[in-house]
Chain A
Amino acid sequence: MEPHRRTTMDEVLPGGQGFAGTAAQGGNQLNGHKQSALDAAAFRAATERILDAINTVIDGKAEAAKLALTVLLAQGHLLLEDVPGVGKTLLAKTLARTIDCSVSRIQFTPDLLPSDVTGVSIYNQSSRQFEFRPGAVFANIVIGDEINRASAKTQSALLECMEEHQVTVDGKSYKLAEPFMVVATQNPIEMEGTYPLPEAQRDRFMARISMGYPDKDSEIEMLETHQATSPLARVSSVVTSADVAAMIATVQRVYVSQSVKEYTVAVGRATRDSAMLRLGASPRSMLQLLRAAKATSALDGRDFVLPDDVVAVAESVLAHRIILDRKAASTGETPQSVIRGVLAKLPVSQEMTESAHASRQARAAGSPGAPTARPSPELRPSR
């Protein structure tokens, strides 16, 4: 529905002071424990505002919207993969709009250069110095449209930013803004002249969503509401980026019990052991799975993770990282169905009753905090 634009960057590019500011700001924001978290009510109110705003724009895709928000709050990146015209880009843009933060959009094409993404140092005649002109990734939310159209080199430039949350040009590192989220879309149909993301790079995305077609009623409603103007125009930001940072901090404080960790690990091992998979879920994916589960539980109003949360996000988080065995693929299995099968067979360890309970009490007495809830070091911005 978005017209194909040849422009590589059509949205706001933060100016020089913008990138400097965001870089400085970002370091603070991601220090989850310093950031004041929201209480349950405020958190719920904020999430409701965001979801409501998205749902006014995109009809019948509440699940996708929620998952997108989950990924945002879990500090992951989102891959939207579906046929053209089901609202991938619209979802990405709406999500970006609801938050009062910098947004940039990159329309990937085969001739897009890595420096277009990351930025480039150019020689300033007047000052006789090289100045860094930040690329499109210097924004809180980066929408990468049709990421599979870009060359592998450009793709990996983006993917490096996604992982490191920083850009290195000419040996100098520039921090990216926080929160930082890449929402990439990919079109699986039109394969000619594209460079589909290799597995290793898909692994960088926390979750992949297939939008799917809207149901009949939603489609009719969409026809009505979208006739005159794009509803996107009416969306205004409902939360600030500081709010989002606080929400992220809240998610980080969600408690993960030992048994949920064990369950998560068990899920990963089960995919690796599955006869239908050539490649199971990586340890990194386990981490992302757990973070997504934390965000899900926070969205559900809880401050602790249930196995249900893990189950809820497992398909979205894992399906794009695993590779089906050829035999399984030929029998009509899909990654999703395999993951469903794995989950259906995996016991949710619940034998923790009287005996384990005692040790649990002992542990609880010793450490009132929740050491497990700290963000992992690799995500912390380095200075």
Chain B
Amino acid sequence: MKMFGKKSVSTLLFYIAKATAIGYGIFLLFIVFAIVTNSFLSISDHNFQIKIPFTNSVIKGAYEINTFLSIIMFFLFYVSFFYVLSLVFKTFKAEILFSKNAIQHLTYFTIINLFFPILYGSIRLLIFQGGNFNDFYAVFLHIILGIFALFIATIFKQGVQLQEENELTI
């Protein structure tokens, strides 16, 4: 099984990540639309419910700004997460693996995984005085992923350097 280049696992993962990012994006737009226009939204006893079209599922929670902000932040994070992940896989499916593009996208992936979860965790903990174990477990996992991506970005930097040297060996 080919991991890199055309018709490889990277190509498949690129399309999956991109489709997931688009899916999250559409869902985010739907939620914003439902909140702004009051459609698909029902409120009772300080709780809200957003009906998801074509399914029997609902999104529900306390009718507070904190809940709406948390939901929007969650979807914004995962739209950017899967979009940048698709960019990373896009560079993996290229003919030349070690490229400056790959380093750039891995750096974005590092920033997203380190910066946003810390920001989200801090907001939940300090401002909203809330959060449960699952929230902080996800934050912790993303930070680990960010650190790992940082190492891969550094390895890619060395890879680019070695490739340049190899190309200039006559």
The answer to whether A and B belong to the same complex is: no
Measured CB to CB, the residues of A under 8 A from B are none
